[in-house]
């Protein structure tokens, strides 16, 4: 827990996207959330009223742009505008989950780069700084024309794996696709275990077909690691392939549990012994009821980073 004397210059404000995480960050920092009314008119226009004086304050706005992504994004922009017009000294947009991050390049002719558009919107609304967790692509930091800190949930995940499964040769970290090898290698290095890769061919968006496994998972407890789990097709197919290849058991970890559509049912009926996600996105009732989905908190990680930003000290040293 941080020293309350070091947080005296901060104020926190939460949108409606993930109040449980905002409350946890508030408790970690021992700072109450700033009173504000965030409501909607009959036609669903968003209205924000800051109910405390914030003139000259160092404000942190906590809001994931998860489902409903457009509503939560608009809420964030209006909160930032309200703070700017209330003469806040600095406004840091804290986005535990940055929506639209998967649209970080032109995937085909005549398509947008929506991640850049959203970065422009947040900047133009009046944010002074952005703090986020495990961006889908690190280069998205370059889309912002303001300082941007990208935190890594890896320390939280490593601790949970060690607590639940230990470490050593009985484990094997598996990347569910070639694109996630760097992330998987980092986890394998911290756990001191081997690495495997699932080679898959994606026929169309949202559908994946596992082709083969690079590595030998036979008799191992396998840990699949990813940044975002949306439809859960890739993770579940990879788990099935690992079991067929002789894996003793399969676990999955992801920073952002988007879990849209039939993802929860898919995970519940899969070969996964457990799916662990952080609380960067608020859980749906289905997620809360699913017996093999477990959530771990990144509130202390975000809270400590916010404190260091406020104190103008190093954030990167959190991961040394």
Question: Quick check: 60 and 11 in contact, CB under 8 A?
Answer: yes
* Residue 55, marked binder: no
Question: How high is the pLDDT of residue 178?
Answer: 85
Question: How high is the pLDDT of residue 245?
Answer: 92
* Residue 92, marked binder: no
Residue 213 buriedness (CB in 10 A; 0-12 / 13-18 / 19+): buried
Catalytic residue IDs:
200
Helices (H), 110-165: 114-125, 154-165
Domain 4-152+299-319 has CATH 3.20.20.80: no
Question: How high is the pLDDT of residue 207?
Answer: 59
pTM for this model (two decimals): 0.91
* Residue 45, marked binder: yes
Return phi, psi of residue 155, to 5°. Answer: -60, -35
Q: Tens of pLDDT along 259-291?
A: 998 999 999 999 999 999 999 999 999 999 999
* Residue 249, marked binder: no
Question: Quick check: 101 and 136 in contact, CB under 8 A?
Answer: yes
pLDDT along the chain (320 residues), means of 10: 63 96 97 94 94 96 96 97 96 97 91 96 97 93 95 95 89 91 94 91 60 89 96 92 94 96 94 96 93 96 96 89
Longest CA pairwise span in the chain (Å): 61
Question: How high is the pLDDT of residue 199?
Answer: 86
Q: What are the boundaries of each domain within the chain?
A: 4-152+299-319, 154-296
Q: Do domains 4-152+299-319 and 154-296 have the same CATH topology?
A: yes
Question: How high is the pLDDT of residue 2?
Answer: 63
* Residue 103, marked binder: yes
Question: How high is the pLDDT of residue 318?
Answer: 87
* Residue 202, marked binder: yes
Give the CATH class of 154-296. Answer: alpha beta
Question: How high is the pLDDT of residue 271?
Answer: 94
């Amino acid at each position: 827990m941080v020293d309350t004397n070091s947080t005296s210059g901060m104020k926190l404000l939460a949108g409606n996207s993930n109040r449980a995480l905002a409350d946890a960050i508030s408790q970690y920092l021992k700072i109450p959330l700033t009173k504000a009314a965030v409501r909607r008119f009959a036609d669903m226009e968003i209205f924000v009223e800051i109910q405390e004086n914030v003139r000259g304050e160092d404000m942190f706005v906590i809001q994931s742009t998860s489902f409903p992504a457009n509503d939560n994004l608009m809420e964030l922009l209006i909160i930032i505008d309200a703070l700017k017009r209330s003469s806040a000294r600095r406004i840091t947009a804290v986005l535990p989950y940055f929506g639209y991050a998967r649209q970080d390049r032109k995937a085909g002719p005549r398509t947008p780069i929506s991640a850049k558009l959203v970065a422009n919107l947040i900047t133009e609304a009046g944010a002074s700084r952005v703090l986020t967790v495990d961006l889908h692509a690190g280069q998205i930091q370059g889309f912002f024309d303001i300082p941007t800190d990208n935190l890594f949930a890896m320390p939280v995940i490593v601790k949970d794996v060690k607590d639940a499964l230990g470490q050593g040769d009985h484990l094997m970290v598996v990347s569910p696709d070639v694109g996630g090898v760097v992330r998987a290698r980092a986890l394998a290095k911290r756990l001191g275990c081997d690495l495997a890769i699932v080679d898959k061919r994606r026929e169309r968006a949202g559908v994946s077909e596992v082709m083969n496994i690079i590595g030998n998972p036979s008799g191992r407890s396998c840990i699949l690691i990813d940044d975002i789990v949306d439809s859960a097709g890739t993770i579940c197919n990879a788990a099935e392939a690992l079991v067929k290849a002789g894996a003793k058991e399969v676990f999955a970890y992801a920073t952002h549990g988007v879990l849209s559509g039939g993802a929860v049912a898919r995970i519940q009926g899969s070969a996964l012994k457990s799916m662990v996600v952080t609380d960067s996105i608020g859980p749906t009732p289905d997620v809360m009821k699913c017996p093999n989905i477990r959530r771990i908190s990144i509130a202390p990680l975000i809270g400590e980073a916010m404190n260091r930003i406020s104190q103008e000290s190093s954030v990167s040293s959190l991961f040394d």
